Amino acid sequence: MSMIVLTGGAGFIGSCLLSVLNQQGITDVLVVDSLGTGSKWKNLLGKSYVDLVSKELFREMMHAPSDAMGEISAVIHMGACSSTTERDADYLFDNNFRYSVEVAEFAMQHNARFIYASSAATYGDGDNGYSDGEFTLRPLNMYGYSKLLFDQWIIEEGLDTKCVGLKFFNVFGPNEYHKESMASMVYKSTLQIRATGKVSLFKSNSSEYADGGQMRDFVYVKDACRTIMQLLEDDTINGVFNLGTGIASSWNDMAAAVFNALGVPPKIEYIDMPAELSHQYQNFTQAEMSKLQKALPELRFGDLNSTIADYVTEHLSSKWMYW
């Protein structure tokens, strides 16, 4: 039987995707990830897969004879360092770019469906817009640059006609608790409200936006996984696409939805933005979704209030924060 390789399969989006694969009866999945010493292992509870191997071991496996791993039907590359504050540029270059090139070449050698995670961080401050047809971009941090480098490599090699890249916007949902400082504000707000009855949001660093009025395109991980599954099943759809909702909401809107889901009166305080974030802070993101909507005409996303309510009530309101 053919196998799916899922890098980052114990991480946030990867483990949620593994859950969806299992729900569809797909268990021949090789998970590539490192569990470390934290509670990331919980994302694999109740899920079925062939084996779990580290990135280092998988790098060795990729250079073995092409028939050593048997038939590979798909490679879904979700594994990366997603920290926007990571300062080790050499590490990000190797982990997010060079390793991704190796994974892409491996997928092509096996004639496997290749889907990979890019990021809205490639757009920088958004001065050039958020069109997934635009790649003359200036990211604000090394994480975004490492993702942009791989998008550009895919296009330069002509692989955008053979695979799918997804520029994820602000994804939130179950299985993100291990991301700590990089977890979504939906998750952090829920914890803050339970602990203090209020939410802390950054004051604005721009006269164009009120405090808490900075905007993001929030997309629920369950909608993101459903989209990935559609792209996995239809290999005639290829290219580098945005994956957001196409609707920007403010941090105040996000917080209000969390308060509403918890049944708690809104109470927001505004705090100073850390200096290390201020120079690389995106005040507005909104995915241009026409390209993906054309490829997947039936594509639909839940609205902010209903998706946050599902996350808070079905996952964060119990001891089971994962899916």
Known catalytic residues are 143, 179
Helices (H) and strands (E) in the chain, counts: 11, 13
The DSSP secondary structure of 192-227, one letter per residue, reads HHHHHSSEEEEPPSSTTS-TT--EE-EEEHHHHHHH
Give the three-class secondary structure for 156. Answer: helix
User: In this structure, are residues 218 and 170 in contact, taking their beta carbons and an 8 Å threshold?
Assistant: yes
**Dihedral (C-alpha) 67, 231, 171, 316: value to the nearest 10 degrees?**
-80
Encoded amino acid at 284, one letter: F
Distance (Å, rounded) from C-alpha 174 to C-alpha 8? 15
User: In this structure, are residues 72 and 110 in contact, taking their beta carbons and an 8 Å threshold?
Assistant: yes
